[in-house]
Amino acid sequence: MTRVSGDENADDGTDTETETDAGAEGGDDRVPVLLVRDDREYLVKPGGEQGTDLGVLEVPEDVQSGDTIETHLGDEFHVRRLRGPDLFHQFERTGAPMVPRDIGLVMGETGIARGDRVLDAGTGTGVLAAMMARAGASVVTYERDAEFADVARENMALGGVEDAVDVRTGDVLEHLDDLESSSFDVCTLDTGDAPAMVEHAPDLLVDGGFLAVYSPFIESTRAVSETAREVGLSDVTTRETIQREMQFDERGSRPSTAPVGHTGYLTIARNE
């Protein structure tokens, strides 16, 4: 399954298209590429086939970024390498995913890197899990909703990270016995009951490991911060994530007059 976006920087208004991929079942490690033309954008694996309103695209197995591919009707699409932020636009959504700027804070504050093992709760669309995997981490992520979990697995395959992300269906609090103590470098939470999970963070994290909790609401954020301190986590900090775009025109330069770009609250703590 692929998603077509009208604008690479758009958050919504996308239409879902289908992809026929000869190697979609099991053992497929081909990295998808973006096929772009004007306001059209498709994510397809090498060797795959994509139907469009301009004709059918057949993607060669040896396709490279920078190539040009024609549909059977002769319309050209440019090949672009898949980048992490593209996942935000291409993944099928089961809710409002964490936006790239917040994901950047999570990864920057926790230092997620190749070889890290990450426990993630509240998979949702799976954008965070996929971007951590693209950074080289191995991710175990829990999603309560079985349908959401199925979509997340499809998204991991679409993003080429299915081998690095283990999407598990269920409440992580009910599966603590399945998790080895002191085995995770980072724990990321995006759930309504995050404070209850924070209690177990010291047992799950390695010495020096990080906890990152995201919430759109201040009430949960305060409970997370208080619980983190109570269980002995250190360097507990909470930030509101706000971003303003700049406007440049003939009259001058200033921040956009659009509403303040609040997306959520991020709490970071360390296991020491």
Q: Which domains does the chain possess?
A: 2-82 (3.10.330.20), 87-270 (3.40.50.150)
pLDDT tens across the length of the chain (272 residues): 333 333 333 344 344 343 444 333 444 557 789 899 998 989 888 999 999 999 999 999 999 989 999 999 999 999 998 888 888 888 999 988 888 889 999 999 999 999 999 999 999 999 999 999 999 999 999 999 999 999 999 999 988 899 999 999 999 999 999 999 999 999 999 999 999 999 999 999 999 999 999 998 899 999 999 999 999 999 999 999 888 889 899 999 988 877 667 788 999 999 98
The whole-number pLDDT of residue 260 equals 66
Q: CA 188, 193, 196, 201: dihedral to nearest 10 degrees? A: 0
DSSP state, residue 179: S
43's CB contacts (< 8 A; 6+ apart) are 2, 3, 19, 32, 33, 34, 35, 82, 86, 90, 158
Give the pLDDT confidence score for residue 8 in this predicted structure: 38
pLDDT the model gives residue 29:
59
State the pLDDT at residue 223.
96
Query: Could you give the CA distance from residue 129 to residue 158 in angstroms, rounded to a whole number?
Result: 13
pLDDT for res 244: 81
Cα separation, 104 vs 91, whole angstroms: 18
- Residue 91's closest CA among 203, 167, 194? 167
| CB distance 48 to 18 below 8 Å | no
The counts of H helices and E strands in the chain are 7, 18
In this prediction, residue 30 carries a pLDDT of 72
Q: How far is CA 61 from CA 5, 20, 33, 73, 120, in A?
A: 24, 14, 11, 21, 33
Structure-block tokens of residue 159: 């993003």
**Which amino acid would we find at residue 212?**
A
* 247: helix, strand or coil: strand
DSSP state letter for 173: G
